[in-house]
A and B are shown apart, each in its own frame.
Chain A
Amino acid sequence: MIQIENLYKSFGEKAVLKGVSASFNKGKCNFVIGASGSGKSVLMKCMVGLIPVDSGSIAYDHTDFVSLNYEEKKEIRKKIGMLFQGTALFDSLNVEDNIAFPLRMFTSLSSAEVIDRVNFCLKRVNLEKVNALYPSSISGGMKKRVGIARAIALNPEYLFCDEPNSGLDPITSRLIDDLIQEITEEYNITTIINTHDMKSLFEMGDHIIFIYKGEKWWEGRKEDIRDSGNAELLQFMKASQF
Chain B
Amino acid sequence: MIKFLEIIGQYVLFMGSLFSRPERFNVFLKQSFHEMYTIGVGSFGIVGLISLFTGAVSTVHIGYQLIGGLVPEYLIGRIVRDSNILEFSPTVTCLVLAGKVGSAMASEIGTMKVTEQVDALEIMGVNSASYLVLPKIVAGMLTIPILVVYAMGLSLIGGAISGELSGIISMDFFIKGLRAEFIPFSVNFALIKAFAFAIIITSISSFHGYKTEGGALEVGQSSTRAVVYSCVGIIFFDYIISELLLA
Interface residues of A (CB under 8 A from B): 45, 48-50, 70, 74-75, 77-78, 80, 82, 84-86, 88-91, 101-102, 104-106, 160
Q: State in angstroms the CA–CA spacing of A91 and B119 once bound together.
A: 14
Q: State in angstroms the CA–CA spacing of A160 and B119 once bound together.
A: 13
Q: Which A residues are in CB contact (< 8 Å) with B29?
A: none
Q: How far in angstroms is the closest Cβ of chain B from A145?
A: 16
Secondary structure dominating the interface of B: helix
Q: Which B residues are in CB contact (< 8 Å) with A78?
A: 124-125
Q: State in angstroms the CA–CA spacing of A240 and B122 once bound together.
A: 34
In the complex, which of the residues A84, A89, A104 contacts B27, with contact meaning CB atoms closer than 8 Å? A104
Q: Which B residues are in CB contact (< 8 Å) with A49?
A: 122
Q: How far in angstroms is the closest Cβ of chain A from B29?
A: 13
Interface size classification for chain B: 10 to 19
Inter-chain contact A88/B125, CB cutoff 8 Å: no
Q: State in angstroms the CA–CA spacing of A102 and B24 once bound together.
A: 11
Q: How far in angstroms is the closest Cβ of chain A from B63?
A: 48
Identify which of residues 211-239 in chain B touch chain A, using a CB-to-CB cut-off of 8 Å: none
Assess whether B172 is interfacial by the CB under 8 Å rule. no
Identify which of residues 144-176 in chain B touch chain A, using a CB-to-CB cut-off of 8 Å: none
Q: Which A residues are in CB contact (< 8 Å) with B117?
A: 88-91
Inter-chain contact A106/B125, CB cutoff 8 Å: yes
Inter-chain contact A50/B123, CB cutoff 8 Å: yes
Identify which of residues 2-50 in chain B touch chain A, using a CB-to-CB cut-off of 8 Å: 23-24, 27
Q: State in angstroms the CA–CA spacing of A62 and B52 once bound together.
A: 66
Inter-chain contact A88/B122, CB cutoff 8 Å: no
Known contacts A104-B27, A105-B24, A105-B27; A86 and B115 CB within 8 A of each other: yes
Q: Which A residues are in CB contact (< 8 Å) with B23?
A: 105-106
Secondary structure dominating the interface of A: mixed
Q: How far in angstroms is the closest Cβ of chain B from A173?
A: 20
Inter-chain contact A88/B126, CB cutoff 8 Å: no
Q: State in angstroms the CA–CA spacing of A45 and B123 once bound together.
A: 10
Inter-chain contact A82/B125, CB cutoff 8 Å: no
Q: State in angstroms the CA–CA spacing of A40 and B122 once bound together.
A: 19
Q: State in angstroms the CA–CA spacing of A45 and B124 once bound together.
A: 13
Inter-chain contact B24/A104, CB cutoff 8 Å: yes
Inter-chain contact B122/A77, CB cutoff 8 Å: yes
* Nearest 4 CB-CB pairings of A with B: A77-B125, A88-B116, A88-B120, A74-B125
Q: Which B residues are in CB contact (< 8 Å) with A45?
A: 119
Q: Which B residues are in CB contact (< 8 Å) with A101?
A: 124
In the complex, which of the residues A80, A89, A104 contacts B123, with contact meaning CB atoms closer than 8 Å? A80
Q: Which B residues are in CB contact (< 8 Å) with A84?
A: 116, 119-120
Q: How far in angstroms is the closest Cβ of chain A from B139?
A: 15
Identify which of residues 61-111 in chain B touch chain A, using a CB-to-CB cut-off of 8 Å: 111
Known contacts A86-B116, A88-B115; A105 and B124 CB within 8 A of each other: yes
Identify which of residues 162-205 in chain B touch chain A, using a CB-to-CB cut-off of 8 Å: none
Q: How far in angstroms is the closest Cβ of chain B from A46?
A: 13
Q: State in angstroms the CA–CA spacing of A112 and B47 once bound together.
A: 42
Q: Which A residues are in CB contact (< 8 Å) with B112?
A: 90-91
A-B contact pairs, 9 of them (CB 8 A): A48-B123, A70-B127, A77-B123, A84-B116, A88-B115, A88-B116, A105-B23, A105-B124, A160-B123
